[in-house]
Homo-oligomer: A and B are copies of this chain.
Amino acid sequence: MESGPRGGSRPAEPGPCLSSQCGADQAASASVLSAAGAEPGSRTLAVAAVLPAGGCGERMGVPTPKQFCPVLERPLISYTLQALERACWIKDVVVVVTEENMQAMENIIQKYKHKSISLVEAGVTRHRSIFNGLRALADNRLNSKLSKPEVVIIHDAVRPFFDEDILLKVVTAAKEHGAAGAVRPLVSTVISPSADGCLDYSLERARHRASEMPQAFLFDVIYEAYQQCSDYDLEFGTECLQLALKYCHIKAKLVEGSPDLWKVTYKRDLYAAESIIKERISQEICIVMDPKENEEHIGHLLEEILKTELNHVQVTSQALYNAGSDIQQINLEQCYNFVCVNVKTPDFRETQKLLSMLEESNFSLLYPIVVVSAHFLDFKLVSPSQKMESLMWIREFAKEMRKKNILLYGLLINHSQDEQKLQENLRQGAIIITALIKERNSALIGQLLVA
């Protein structure tokens, strides 16, 4: 039951603070998990995860269940699966969905190339769904690709923001204590109403915690608890840690989690999720320029200004001519934002080269990539209106790119001979580039903006 990496064809996994590769991290995690294991030596822990996703999201106020709501056009649950995939040591992920959403879920897994997922049909309540997921892992059926894990993680489909560290912590604690769960301080005071709707008592905020996800359990503990628990528990209960306590006398270890563990509950949470994801994928900009041409000077000026304007953003530069492997290098650095500098090259040649490479790759599978095609022109020598002739081309091309999840914008910068004016124009260009990257607005693709 060795857990290993789930294939080398996993999709690129971005986010500035997240590792995209399982190699080194996996070794570290495996070592932690191995150290926490009962037996010393090289055997690592067999871990699976159950993700109940059968809810109807009534609190959201939208017809689509919240786990399927699109965020940057991708369903929320796909982000959660992606975050679980970062922990390569999780062998299987069982997603529990209602029959009516089974096909939609299949499509999501296929489209975003999620690995090691098994689908199980949901029950009518959350607890019944989790029980169904655990049963699938326990069964050890002949044709099942699933096998019983030593530790099982239970997480929510609508909590996409967590890092591997909290998973490791709850799994390690579960191995030691039998059960563990993430907790957070309470935001509001909790009170108990009397029957007539008045205040009976209020709880001391500092002495209580909000129980969040992920949680983890020794598989035998939580499975035993579910097998024993009453119909009332299955219908009205919400807390898995409570079941382990009630039926197996296991006092779960509580692990303090970060604010990232929040659950997408209301419509405003979808807004917040989209903003957070946009921010995460806007942390790096790659400036692409042709070193063979005499354009390095202006390209590097733009690079410097972007670095000054964007304190927290990493700005790098690349040349496309050197080798085809450069784009691969960019991907490893999880870059979703490109500024392509075209100076002497006619029209959009440099940009076209970059776009072909991006098109051939699969980088835009999970997130829309922004490409700003930057052009320089001295407005005193040539009227910017002449450059407008290119507009039609970029508009049509942007429409094509849109289908590949690549957002292409044009940017015309006044290459003034006056050094001070040039600096001002470059600064204006940097502001526009920042806005395009931050908003990632598909309605403005193909536009030629002027700085």
A contact set with B: CB distance below 8 Å: 59, 177, 179, 181, 183-184, 186-194, 197-203, 205-212, 236, 238-239, 241-242, 245, 251-254, 259, 262-263, 265-266, 268-269, 271-276, 383-386, 388-389, 391, 395, 431-432, 434-435, 439, 441, 443-444, 447-450
Contacts and interface: CB of A to CB of B under 8 A. Distances in A.
Interface-centre pick from A211, A251, A443 (highest chain B CB count, 10 A): A443
A447 B269 CA distance: 32
Contact of A208 (B192, B239, B385, B444): B192
B268 A276 contact: yes
A275 B271 contact: yes
How many copies of this chain does one complex carry? 2
Contacts of A447: 447, 449-450
Contact of A202 (B177, B241, B259, B386): B241
Given A191-B239, A259-B59, A391-B450, A202 B207 contact: no
Interface-centre pick from A59, A191, A206, A211 (highest chain B CB count, 10 A): A191
A191 B207 contact: no
Contacts of A271: 271-272, 275-276
A393 to B, nearest CB: 12
B205 A188 contact: no
A71 to B, nearest CB: 12
B208 A191 contact: yes
A211 B207 contact: no
Given A198-B251, A203-B203, A268-B272, 13 more contacts: A183-B193, A187-B265, A189-B238, A198-B253, A199-B254, A205-B238, A268-B275, A275-B275, A383-B388, A385-B386, A385-B388, A385-B389, A432-B444
A429 to B, nearest CB: 10
Contacts of A203: 190, 203, 208
A142 B444 CA distance: 61
Contacts of A448: 450
Contact of A197 (B190, B254, B389): B254
Contacts of A269: 272
Nearest to A384: B388
B193 A209 contact: yes
A8 to B, nearest CB: 34
Q: Ordered nearest first, which 8 A-B pairs have the shortest CB separation?
A: A435-B443, A271-B275, A385-B388, A385-B385, A268-B272, A188-B210, A198-B251, A272-B272
